[in-house]
Structure 1
């Protein structure tokens, strides 16, 4: 199996985050409010332009009402 580089992982994680957010019917702004994060930061994460920290993953999971491991299960 070929190694993925970090930018590929960021893009995959971001796409997965967006899929979960949309499946819950949340806008960027609504998720940002739930997580106490800036909506532009979430947008950058979803677009693979920002490397996400573990603490941010935990906050996003809380806002999505899921377990953090579910955010990390993106393939």
Structure 2
């Protein structure tokens, strides 16, 4: 079971991902397609229910057209 700190980081990351996705006007499916991920995984990430790997953060950043640091700036 993840620690409270890990859960909080996952939640903050997910909130930031959702904010950036919505600012870009992208759907979950569009992001998933661009990042070669399942759209249900994008939803889980945004809801803080998925501990994302570092390599996936870079894939998400590329798919969103932002820097990885933008996803981690919360």
Normalised by the length of structure 1, the TM-score is 0.91
User: Which position in structure 2 is the counterpart of 1:46?
Assistant: 46
Q: Is 1:33 equivalent to 2:22 in the alignment?
A: no
* SS of 1:62 mapped into structure 2: helix
Aligned-pair distance for 1:39?
0.4
Question: Unaligned stretches of 5+ in structure 1?
Answer: none
CA offsets per residue over residues 22-71 of structure 1, 9 Å max, x none?
00000000011111111011100000000010011000000100011111
Give the RMSD, CA atoms, in angstroms.
Answer: 0.9
Q: If the length of structure 2 is used for normalisation, what is the TM-score?
A: 0.93
In 1, the alpha carbon distance for the partners of 2:67 and 2:16 equals: 14
Unpaired segments of 5 or more residues in structure 2?
none
Which aligned pairs between 1:8-27 and structure 2 lie closer than 5 A? 8-27=8-27
